[in-house]
Homo-oligomer: A and B are copies of this chain.
Amino acid sequence: MSGKNKEVIDLSSSLSDIWKMLTDEERSLLRSSARILHFKKNELIYLDDDSPRYLMCLFKGKVKIFKSGVGGRSQIIRIIRPVQYFGYRAYFARESYVTSASAFEACTVCMIPMELVEQFLRNNGDLALFFIQMLSVDLGIADQRVVNLTQKHVRGRLAESLIFLKESYGLEEDGATLNIYLAREDLASLSNMTTSNAIRTLSNFVNERIITIDGRKIKIIDEERLRKISRIG
């Protein structure tokens, strides 16, 4: 490649999921069309109402997909970790984006033109099934989320989010600290509550010795308890 990027990225390993399903010809086509972009912390990746043009694959960093609802109150719909694909749903649905995406922290994203993806999967059953499976899994999660967010109480929703963050981004070396530092506001918009409620409930959890907090660092002390709170709502 023309050396425009500082680091050299090996598409074949970074895109391994998809890469191994392609023919040589498709691979070279992909190599010449894919572009690597970098986003700074909090930078927008795409916006509600934009028209979807790229399949995006997150190589590095953390991304949030969010929606602004009634009265501008925004809600995090899902979060993306490396290596996951995003930004393609609207294109397949023949819609504009109904969500926005932004970088939680500095990100490296591979952009692949959707026309190319569509062309590939028309002739490649494995690839088609790969997308069908991703969409099916996400739809199941979305259905579950509707019930969780509407029927669980504040404590249950926050507990669930903490577990979700742990399972998405994992823990630091100490085996307890969440490997992502979110603002209380983001934690709230992930759990469908106001910032005050997130703060308050978080301190309750601290008092009950379920977690400890140090600024944005959250350490999970009693995961079993957290899971129970999440389960019973």
Contact = CB atoms under 8 A, between A and B. Distances in A.
Contacts of A69: 147-148, 150-151
Contact of A132 (B123, B131, B192): B131
A202 to B, nearest CB: 20
A93 interface: yes
A98 interface: yes
Contacts of A89: 136, 139-140
A94 B92 CA distance: 21
A83 B71 CA distance: 36
B137 A93 contact: yes
A152 interface: yes
Contacts of A152: 70
Interface string A131-143: 1110111111011
Interface residues of A, number: 48
Given A90-B136, A135-B136, A135-B139, A75 B147 contact: yes
Contacts of A146: 67, 75, 77, 142, 145-146, 149
A98 B128 CA distance: 23
Interface of A: 67, 69-71, 73, 75, 77, 89-95, 98-99, 118, 121-123, 125-126, 128-129, 131-133, 135-140, 142-152, 156, 192, 232-233
